[in-house]
A and B are shown apart, each in its own frame.
Chain A
Amino acid sequence: DTEVTQTPKHLVMGMTNKKSLKCEQHMGHRAMYWYKQKAKKPPELMFVYSYEKLSINESVPSRFSPECPNSSLLNLHLHALQPEDSALYLCASSHGTSGGETQYFGPGTRLLVL
């Protein structure tokens, strides 16, 4: 089973709203990732959690706040977003981070910021 689930599938929010994206996997993976994908562009890495600790932050603005409550769950808290933050947000997981680990992606959350 290589399933990563993400909720919600779609989200519309105003610039003053606070919302959260959720990602879950039950494959026993110990690394989880957030990617941002703009239309007609490849995904770009935002954050990496390894063994529930933040290991990579790709200079993402503070209006994006990741959280890893446990090894199966990854959240992305959104606050005071801008219209240019509208994108598909993809979550991924891998067995570990020792090198060469395949990343398995969820279906994504399509976010629209008005």
Chain B
Amino acid sequence: AQTVTQSQPEMSVQEAETVTLSCTYDTSENNYYLFWYKQPPSRQMILVIRQEAYKQQNATENRFSVNFQKAAKSFSLKISDSQLGDTAMYFCAFLQGAQKLVFGQGTRLTINP
């Protein structure tokens, strides 16, 4: 079974700084999909970014980008120019098969004013 590991339980940065959240995973598959979701205090799980393993180019969505290292099985999330609204729990997730999302334990990110 696939496993997803997020080694940073909590992180805290100042507003406007850049922060990188780490994620590693374990799989024997060659084609797969990875996601970052954020869950603010409102508890709504919101998609941040997705990456297809067959694509070499790292995904980018505005201030959010990933560093996908397939050989190292690493999938980190970089948030540039962090904003107070970025405060949330961030989950890295691996899509196992076609339907099952396997989540990491999460990183609680706090953006301080």
Residues of A with Cβ closer than 8 Å to B?
Answer: 31, 33, 41-45, 48, 50, 55-56, 88, 90, 92, 97-108, 110
Contact = CB atoms under 8 A, between A and B. Distances in A.
A50 B99 contact: yes
Contacts of B35: 102
20 contacts: A41-B105, A42-B104, A43-B91, A43-B101, A43-B103, A44-B103, A45-B100, A48-B100, A56-B100, A88-B43, A90-B45, A100-B33, A100-B95, A100-B98, A101-B95, A105-B37, A106-B44, A107-B42, A108-B43, A110-B43
Contacts of A50: 99
A102 B50 CA distance: 8
Interface of B: 31, 33, 35, 37, 42-47, 50, 52, 91, 95, 97-101, 103-106
A107 B103 CA distance: 17
Contact of B99 (A42, A48, A88, A107): A48
Nearest to A94: B99
A55 B106 contact: no
Contacts of A41: 105
Nearest to B105: A42
B42 A105 contact: no
Contacts of B97: 99
A50 B100 CA distance: 12
